C-alpha cells in the first residue's frame, strides 16, 4: 500500500498495526497536510459487526471538538470496499512509551491527567464513554499536550451498545470492576481508568497485577491496589485520596464526574501555589513579577474626573495583563483600596503582589498631567516615578509610555511576546475614548440608573467612532444586565444586546468579551443552547483569564442545563481570577442553590455579605435558600434587607410574596400580588414574578397560565425552568413540561451529573 494514492491521500509509511486494522502516514494532496489513515483490517472488511464498530469509532471522535481529543477529518471507503478513517497525524510519544522510562514527577503527572480529564469530560457531556483509556491510547504531542486516541470501543448512551452484557471490551489492566465483570458501564468506568493511568504515571507500575488475564481480573474485582508508597515513598495526602477515590470498587464511591476530580486538582494546585507564593514572598528574587494598579486619584479642581482616573488605571491594567511573565492583580482586587489611603505594605500583603503602581490625574481644558509612582511592597522603596504633561489627544501614547516604563523597571523577559506599547486601543478618537471610560465607570456601579448612564455613554462613543468594537461590547453587556435586573422586557433589551455584540464581532472577531455577550443572549433569550456554548467556549479560548467569561458561562448556560459539577468548576475558576468579586461569590452560591446544595450555598452568600453587607443580591439569594429550607422568617428578613437597599426590584417583591404565602401569611402575599399586577400596567413586570406568587399561594392553574406568558415574553428566570426550586410544585403538571420542552429544546447536555447508563 505504501506509495499508493487512495482517494486524495498518498500513503507514505506504515505507523502501526492492531487487531482491528493498520495505520499509515499519508499526505493529503488537496489540503497539503500530513494525516494518519486507519484502515479496517482486510480480513474484517466483510464482517458487518467489525464495520459497524469501525464506523462507530469515527462517529464518536468526530462528535467531539476539544484540544485534547484526536481530530477526525473523514471516513471513506476504497473502490475495493475497505473502510478507512482519515485523522490528524500527531508526532510525539504515548504515555506507554513515557512510562517505560520510569516514574513521572507529580507536577507533570497532574498536568497530563488534568488534560485527560478535560478531554474525557467533553466526551461524557456528549454521552460518550471511551471504555479503553490506557497509556497506549494517550499521546503527548508538542512536549506537553495530551491527545486522546482510539474511540474504537466507545459507547454512545441513548444508543444500542456495541457489546452485550458479559462480553468484555477494552484492555483488562485498565478495566473498572464493572467493566471487567461484563456489566453495563457508564462514565465512571472511564474515571477508574484515568485513576489507573495516574497511578502508573506516578509509579511506573500498575495498581493490579496477575500472571494471566483471569488472575488480573480477579485482582481488580477483589483486591486493593498496591500502596503507592511502596514504589515512590510518601505522596501528598490529597493526591493519595484522589487516586483512592478514582479506584474505588463501587462506582458510587468514585468521583461522580470528571469535573469533581478537576475541582479537587484545582484545589490541590491552588494550595500548593499559595504555599509556594508564601515562600516566594520572603525570597530576594521572586520567580514571577507581580503588580497591582491602584485607581488613580483625581486632583482636578472640579473633582469631576473619577471616571477618567478609574478608566486609565483599568486600561494600563489591561495593557500589562496581556504581557507574558507578569501577574497583574484584578480590578476588583485592586479597587477595594480606592479612597482608603492604605499602607503600601498592607496592599502588597493583601494582594500578594511585589509592586504597586499608583498615580494622580490633573485635567484642565485640553491638557492633562499624570503623575505615577512604582513602589516596592516589601519595603515601600520608590522604584520609579515620572510625570506626563501633554495634550489630551496624546492619552494613548501616555498609556503606552507608562506601561513600557513599568515593564522596563520590572525587568521582564518577554521571549517573543507582545512588548510595551503593543496593546490595542480600539479607537484613536479621544472624545469617543472618554465616553467609553465613562460607560465602564457607570457599568461598574451596577445600579439601574448607572447602567442606563453607561448605555448613553457607550452609544455616544459609537456615534463618534462607529468602528469602536469595545464600545459595542460594553453596550451589549449593559443591555443584558438591564434585562437580568428585570428593568427592561427581554423582547426590548435582548435584541439590542444581540445587535451590539454582533456588530462588535464584525469589527473584531477576536474580541472575547463580545463572544461572551453573544453567548448570554443565545442562552437566556434565544434558548439556543448549542450555539451559546460555542460562543462561550470561543470567548474563553481567546481570553482564558477573563473571569467574566467563566462566571457567565457557569451561571447562564451550565446551570440552566443542570451541569452543576462543571458549573461549580467554572464559577470557582472565575472566583480564583476575581476573589473580591461579590457577583462571582453570588454565582458560586447560586449554582449550589439550583443544585439543592443549600448549606454550601449559604456559605458563599454569607462570605459575600461579610465582605459587603450592602450588596442586595446576596441578601436576596440567601433568602431564597431559606425559603427552600422552610426557614421562612429568616427568608423574609433577608428579603426585607435586600429591598431596603434596592426597593424597586419587582423580582425581590414577588419572591417575598411567594415566601409570605408559603409561610401562611396569605393576606400579605395577596396584597403584594395586587401591587405587582397594578404596577405591571405601568411598567415591565416579568410574568415569571407573578407566577411565583401564585405558586406560593398554591394556585397551580393560574401559576401555569402566567408561566406560559413568561415563556412568550422569554423571561430571563425561565431559563432556569429545569433546575429552579421555586417551580418544583409544578413539576408534575403536563402544561409545565410543555413549557420546559419549549425552553430546553435540543440542549447541549442536560445531565447534572454526567451520562447515566
Task: Please check the confidence at residue 420 and state whether its pLDDT lies above 60.
Answer: no
Tell me the mean pLDDT in the region 404-408: 65
Tell me the mean pLDDT in the region 271-295: 56
Using one digit for the tens of pLDDT, what is the confidence trace for 678-693?
A: 999 999 999 999 999 9
Judgement on whether residues 119 and 249 belong to the same structural domain of the protein: yes
Q: Let me know: does 191 contact 255? Beta carbons within 8 Å.
A: yes
110 within some domain: yes
Q: Let me know: does 14 contact 3? Beta carbons within 8 Å.
A: no
Helix, strand, coil percentages (3-state) for the chain, rounded to 5, are: 55, 10, 35
Using one digit for the tens of pLDDT, what is the confidence trace for 349-366?
A: 888 888 888 888 888 777
CA 244 – CA 264 distance, rounded (Å): 13
Half-sphere exposure of 129 (CA within 13 A, CB side): 27
Helix (H) or strand (E) holding 374: strand 367-376
Task: Please check the confidence at residue 429 and state whether its pLDDT lies above 70.
Answer: yes
Judgement on whether residues 148 and 254 belong to the same structural domain of the protein: yes
pLDDT at 749: 41
What pTM was estimated for this model as a whole? 0.58
Neighbours of 35 (CB within 10 A): 20
Judgement on whether residues 59 and 190 belong to the same structural domain of the protein: no
User: Which of 59-63, 231-235, 347-351 has the weakest average pLDDT?
Assistant: 231-235
Residue 434: strand pairing partners: none
Neighbours of 411 (CB within 10 A): 8
Task: Please check the confidence at residue 162 and state whether its pLDDT lies above 50.
Answer: no
pLDDT at 160: 40
Using one digit for the tens of pLDDT, what is the confidence trace for 482-515?
A: 998 888 999 999 999 999 999 999 999 989 999 9
- More confident site: 270 or 401: 401
CA 754 – CA 126 distance, rounded (Å): 9
Domain boundary residue, one of 88, 106, 140:
88
Judgement on whether residues 171 and 52 belong to the same structural domain of the protein: no
pLDDT at 663: 94
Judgement on whether residues 75 and 107 belong to the same structural domain of the protein: no
Judgement on whether residues 19 and 65 belong to the same structural domain of the protein: yes
Q: Let me know: does 82 contact 42? Beta carbons within 8 Å.
A: yes
550 within some domain: no
CA 71 – CA 62 distance, rounded (Å): 7
Give the mean pLDDT of the chain.
83
Tell me the mean pLDDT in the region 634-657: 90
488 within some domain: yes
The conformation of residue 132, written as its DSSP 8-state character, comes to -
Using one digit for the tens of pLDDT, what is the confidence trace for 325-346?
A: 678 888 778 888 887 777 888 8
Domain boundary residue, one of 425, 450, 482:
425
73 within some domain: yes
Question: C-alpha 600: how far from its chain's center?
Answer: 20
740 within some domain: no
CA 297 – CA 371 distance, rounded (Å): 10
pLDDT at 143: 60
654 within some domain: no
CA 604 – CA 584 distance, rounded (Å): 10
Give the phi and the psi of residue 10 in degrees, each rounded to 5: -100, 120
Residue 141: strand pairing partners: 92, 145
CA 201 – CA 98 distance, rounded (Å): 8
Judgement on whether residues 71 and 115 belong to the same structural domain of the protein: no
- Quickly tell me which residue has 453587556 as its cell: 477
Tell me the mean pLDDT in the region 170-176: 87
pLDDT at 465: 93
pLDDT at 691: 97
Using one digit for the tens of pLDDT, what is the confidence trace for 534-592?
A: 999 999 988 888 888 999 999 999 999 999 988 998 998 888 888 778 888 899 999 99
Tell me the mean pLDDT in the region 716-744: 95
pLDDT band at 306 (very low <50, low <70, confident <90, very high): confident
pLDDT at 282: 40
Greatest mean pLDDT among 101-110, 236-245, 376-385, 559-568: 559-568
What per-residue string of b and e applies to 433-451 under the rule 16 or more CB within 10 Å gives b? bbbbbbbbbbbbeeebeeb
CA 416 – CA 426 distance, rounded (Å): 23
Any residues with CB less than 8 A from the CB of 5 and at least 6 apart, and which?
11, 29
Range of the domain at 515: 428-544
Judgement on whether residues 342 and 439 belong to the same structural domain of the protein: no
Least Cα distance to 138 among 91, 196, 194, 95 occurs for 95
208 within some domain: yes
Q: Let me know: does 395 contact 315? Beta carbons within 8 Å.
A: no
pLDDT at 277: 42
Assign 3-class secondary structure to 612-629: CCCCHHHHHHHHHHHHHC
Judgement on whether residues 47 and 121 belong to the same structural domain of the protein: no
Half-sphere exposure of 215 (CA within 13 A, CB side): 4
Residue 372: strand pairing partners: 359, 386
Least Cα distance to 436 among 463, 409, 403 occurs for 463
Task: Please check the confidence at residue 405 and state whether its pLDDT lies above 70.
Answer: no
624 within some domain: no
Q: What is the CATH number of the domain that holds 524?
A: 1.25.40.10
Map residue 100 onto helix, strand or coil.
Answer: coil
Judgement on whether residues 249 and 100 belong to the same structural domain of the protein: yes
How many domains does the chain divide into?
4
Catalytic site positions: 132
Give CA torsion, residues 455, 460, 463, 468, to 10 deg.
-70
CA 89 – CA 37 distance, rounded (Å): 9
Using one digit for the tens of pLDDT, what is the confidence trace for 701-720?
A: 999 999 999 999 999 999 99
CA 24 – CA 10 distance, rounded (Å): 10
Using one digit for the tens of pLDDT, what is the confidence trace for 17-53?
A: 765 678 889 999 988 889 989 888 777 777 787 787 7
Share of the chain above pLDDT 90, in %: 39
Judgement on whether residues 393 and 436 belong to the same structural domain of the protein: no
Q: What is the CATH number of the domain that holds 171?
A: 1.10.510.10
Q: What is the CATH number of the domain that holds 351?
A: 3.40.50.10070
Domain boundary residue, one of 88, 105, 136:
88
- More confident site: 124 or 622: 622
pLDDT band at 158 (very low <50, low <70, confident <90, very high): very low
Judgement on whether residues 459 and 310 belong to the same structural domain of the protein: no
User: Which of 374-383, 477-486, 667-676, 685-694 has the weakest average pLDDT?
Assistant: 374-383
CA 347 – CA 310 distance, rounded (Å): 18
pLDDT band at 157 (very low <50, low <70, confident <90, very high): very low
Least Cα distance to 660 among 648, 671, 644 occurs for 671
Amino acid at each position: 500500500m505504501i506509495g499508493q494514492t487512495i482517494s486524495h491521500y498518498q500513503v507514505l509509511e506504515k505507523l502501526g498495526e492492531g487487531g482491528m486494522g493498520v495505520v499509515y502516514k499519508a499526505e493529503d494532496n488537496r489540503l497539503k497536510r500530513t494525516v494518519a489513515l486507519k484502515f479496517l483490517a482486510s480480513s474484517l472488511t466483510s464482517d458487518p459487526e467489525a464495520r459497524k464498530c469501525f464506523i462507530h469509532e469515527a462517529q464518536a471522535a468526530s462528535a467531539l471538538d476539544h484540544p485534547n481529543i484526536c481530530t477526525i477529518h473523514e471516513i471513506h471507503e476504497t473502490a475495493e470496499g475497505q473502510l478507512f478513517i482519515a485523522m490528524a497525524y500527531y508526532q510525539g510519544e504515548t504515555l506507554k512509551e513515557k512510562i517505560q522510562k520510569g516514574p513521572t514527577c507529580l507536577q507533570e503527572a497532574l498536568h497530563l491527567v488534568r488534560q485527560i480529564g478535560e478531554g474525557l469530560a467533553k466526551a461524557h457531556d456528549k454521552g460518550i464513554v471511551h471504555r479503553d483509556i490506557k497509556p497506549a491510547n494517550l499521546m503527548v504531542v508538542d512536549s506537553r499536550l495530551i491527545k486522546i486516541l482510539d474511540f474504537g470501543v466507545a459507547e454512545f448512551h441513548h444508543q444500542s451498545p456495541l457489546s452485550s452484557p458479559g462480553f468484555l471490551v477494552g484492555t483488562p489492566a485498565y478495566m473498572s470492576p464493572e467493566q471487567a465483570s461484563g456489566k453495563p458501564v457508564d462514565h465512571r468506568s472511564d474515571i477508574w481508568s484515568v485513576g489507573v493511568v495516574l497511578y502508573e504515571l506516578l509509579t511506573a507500575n500498575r495498581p493490579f497485577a496477575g500472571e494471566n488475564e483471569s488472575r488480573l481480573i480477579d485482582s481488580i474485582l477483589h483486591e486493593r491496589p498496591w500502596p503507592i508508597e511502596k514504589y515512590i515513598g510518601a505522596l501528598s495526602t490529597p493526591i493519595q485520596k484522589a487516586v483512592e477515590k478514582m479506584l474505588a470498587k463501587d462506582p458510587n464511591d468514585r468521583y461522580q464526574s470528571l469535573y469533581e476530580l478537576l475541582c479537587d486538582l484545582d484545589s490541590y494546585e491552588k494550595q500548593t501555589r499559595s504555599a509556594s507564593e508564601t515562600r516566594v514572598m520572603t525570597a530576594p528574587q521572586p520567580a514571577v513579577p507581580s503588580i497591582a494598579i491602584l485607581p488613580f486619584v483625581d486632583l482636578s479642581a472640579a473633582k469631576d474626573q473619577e471616571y477618567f482616573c478609574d478608566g486609565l488605571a483599568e486600561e494600563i491594567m489591561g495593557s500589562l495583563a496581556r504581557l507574558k511573565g507578569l501577574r497583574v492583580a484584578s480590578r476588583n482586587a485592586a479597587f477595594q483600596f480606592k479612597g482608603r489611603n492604605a499602607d503600601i505594605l498592607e496592599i502588597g500583603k493583601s494582594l500578594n503582589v511585589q509592586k504597586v503602581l499608583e498615580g494622580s490625574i490633573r485635567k484642565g481644558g485640553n491638557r492633562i498631567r499624570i503623575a505615577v509612582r512604582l513602589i516596592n511592597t516589601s519595603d515601600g522603596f520608590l522604584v520609579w516615578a515620572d510625570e506626563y504633561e501633554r495634550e489630551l489627544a496624546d492619552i494613548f501614547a501616555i498609556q503606552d509610555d507608562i506601561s513600557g516604563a513599568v515593564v522596563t523597571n520590572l525587568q521582564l523577559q518577554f521571549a517573543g511576546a507582545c512588548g510595551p506599547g503593543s496593546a490595542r486601543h480600539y479607537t484613536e478618537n479621544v472624545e469617543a475614548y472618554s465616553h467609553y471610560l465613562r460607560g465602564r465607570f457607570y457599568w461598574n456601579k451596577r445600579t439601574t440608573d448607572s447602567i442606563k448612564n453607561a448605555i448613553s455613554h457607550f452609544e455616544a462613543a459609537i456615534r463618534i467612532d462607529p468602528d469602536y468594537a469595545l464600545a459595542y461590547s460594553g453596550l451589549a453587556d449593559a443591555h443584558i444586565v438591564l434585562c437580568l435586573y428585570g428593568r427592561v422586557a427581554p423582547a426590548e433589551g435582548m435584541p439590542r444586546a444581540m445587535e451590539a455584540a454582533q456588530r462588535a464581532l464584525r469589527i473584531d472577531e477576536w474580541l472575547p468579551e463580545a463572544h461572551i455577550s453573544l453567548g448570554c443572549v443565545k442562552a437566556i433569550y434565544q434558548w439556543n443552547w448549542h450555539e451559546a456554548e460555542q460562543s462561550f467556549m470561543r470567548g474563553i479560548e481567546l481570553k482564558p483569564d477573563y473571569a467574566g467569561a467563566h462566571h457567565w458561562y457557569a451561571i447562564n448556560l451550565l446551570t440552566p442545563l443542570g451541569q452543576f459539577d462543571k458549573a461549580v468548576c467554572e464559577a470557582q475558576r472565575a472566583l480564583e481570577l476575581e476573589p473580591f468579586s461579590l457577583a462571582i461569590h453570588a454565582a458560586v452560591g447560586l449554582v449550589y442553590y439550583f443544585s439543592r446544595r443549600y448549606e454550601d450555598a449559604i456559605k458563599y452568600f454569607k462570605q459575600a455579605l461579610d465582605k459587603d453587607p450592602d450588596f442586595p443580591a446576596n441578601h436576596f439569594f440567601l433568602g431564597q435558600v431559606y425559603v427552600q429550607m422552610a426557614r421562612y422568617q429568616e427568608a423574609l428578613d433577608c428579603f426585607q434587607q435586600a429591598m431596603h437597599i434596592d426597593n424597586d426590584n419587582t423580582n425581590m417583591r414577588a419572591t417575598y410574596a411567594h415566601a409570605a404565602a408559603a409561610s401562611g401569611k396569605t393576606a400579605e402575599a395577596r396584597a403584594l400580588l395586587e401591587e405587582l399586577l397594578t404596577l405591571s400596567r405601568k411598567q415591565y413586570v416579568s410574568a415569571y414574578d407573578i407566577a411565583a406568587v401564585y405558586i406560593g399561594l398554591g394556585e397551580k392553574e393560574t401559576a401555569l397560565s402566567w408561566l406560559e406568558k413568561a415563556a412568550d415574553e422569554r423571561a430571563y428566570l425561565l431559563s432556569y425552568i429545569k433546575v429552579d426550586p421555586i417551580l418544583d410544585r409544578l413539576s408534575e403538571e403536563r402544561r409545565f413540561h410543555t413549557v420546559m420542552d419549549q425552553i430546553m429544546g435540543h440542549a447541549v447536555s442536560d445531565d447534572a451529573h454526567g451520562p447515566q447508563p
